[in-house]
Amino acid sequence: MKVLLLIFLAQLGSTSLVPEREKDPEYWRAQAQETLREALRLQHLNQNVAKNLILFLGDGMGVSTVTAARILKGQLQNRKGEESLLEMEKFPYVALAKVSRPGAPLPSPGEGVVVMVEEVEVVVEMEMVVEVAMMEKVGMVEEVILGGGRKYMFPKNASDVEYPQEDKHRGTRLDRRDLVQAWHDAKPRGKVAKYVWHRRDLLALNLSRVDFLLGLFEPGDLVYELDRNNETDPSLTEMVGVAIRMLQKNPRGFFLLVEGGRIDHGHHEGKAKQALHEAVELDRAIGLASRLTSPRDTLSVVTADHSHVFTFGGYTPRGNPIFGLAPMQSDVDRKPFTSILYGNGPGYKIVAGERENVSAVDFAHADYQAQSAVPLRQETHGGEDVAVFARGPMAHLLHGVHEQNYIPHAMAYAACIGPNHGHCSSATRPATTLLPFLPLLILLS
């Protein structure tokens, strides 16, 4: 303990770690006072009816991932990192949500709820229960669907448009159906439905002349942001920008779901660098959505379905590279360790009967698998609560600690959808009111 205390005090006293302005106590007093003023302004609650609903789901984006992504964002901007702030962290209301455990009964969506997926068979793996009550009484849903999964839409062995020579990317459908064509054929006469598979075509669309949009940019999962071909594949932020601009044409409002699915994949593979860059990209998309919409009529919620057994620490000094080493060594084998570690997963390695010496490997590589305590083929989910960030009409309903299925109920209430209409008659409504159905966007990474 004495050694740890001395390390901590040495770090605390190192003037090289502290920006000059932060050595002045007045800097912290002024910052606290400004934060206090912002908090006091929240007494004027936004009780408008939400015309638009946006749900950002960071798959596997637990609190430790959010914090590490904050530091990474700052370090990508050549700063120490800890002083940075994610776009989601600028939302004024924050809550915690409990996560579902395997085998736990899931809440029923209720009677009279209609779920409409049309012919496009998209499987969204999401432990979080996104209550479909907000989609009740839907008519012909106006959809925008962007993501990956191209091979699942075409007959078995059909060549892929982008990778015609690669067998692993060929179509997989045993029913021999072309679901892209089926999607197109099902659209009403006189409406324009566009299918794109290339970034260039997506960004070149005249959105004023498009009614339905389907974009499938990879045969399977979208490529990790760090590995993405920025000529052929759009970023998550670019997809969000196109989607919002298209959906905003409808005066009745929209419901938008954006899933950052590859955060989860990166963690399962023990590739923290991939996972955290995915989280930063999701945050960029959140920032763009915030700039394209107004908190006056748009309720935006950011949350996760679950966490991971991902951690970082080891008394790292401020400004320590997020993918770097901790400033100490193991008490047992006297070897260094990275500040990022996993409780279990594929990063468990024994070399010559001992823990691998990370000094001998490139631990800053994008595909480096951080060391784990327990060997598993894939790292597992974590069981702790996840954060919920909210901005816009009735965002104050998301506070404290909630069951996870409460989130969509609060969102539906804000938009006057479903059984609860307590605030609808007295609340301030946008220029055009929300009708019983909403244009739908499903955006998957």
> Which own/partner contact pairs does 394-397 have at CB distance under 8 Å and 24+ positions apart?
394/46, 394/47, 394/48, 394/50, 394/299, 394/423, 395/46, 395/91, 395/92, 395/93, 395/295, 395/299, 395/301, 396/42, 396/45, 396/46, 396/93
Chain CA centroid to CA 189, Å: 36
Element (H, E) at 325: strand 325-329
Which SS3 state, helix, strand or coil, does residue 340 take? Answer: strand
Q: Looking at the annotation, which residues are catalytic?
A: 108
Neighbouring C-beta atoms of residue 43, cutoff 10 Å? 6
Q: What is the side-by-side strand order in the sheet with 340-345?
A: 310-312, 340-345, 372-375
Element (H, E) at 147: strand 143-147
Alpha helices per DSSP H over 214-316: 236-247, 262-268, 272-292
Task: Provide the pairing of β-strand 350-351 with 212-216.
Answer: unpaired
Residue whose tokens read 């924050």: 94
CA distance readout (Å), 258 to 95, 124, 429: 19, 11, 25
* Rounded Cα–Cα distance for residues 334 and 285 (Å): 42
- Pair 393, 49: CB distance under 8 Å: yes
Which SS3 state, helix, strand or coil, does residue 442 take? Answer: strand
Element (H, E) at 409: helix 406-414
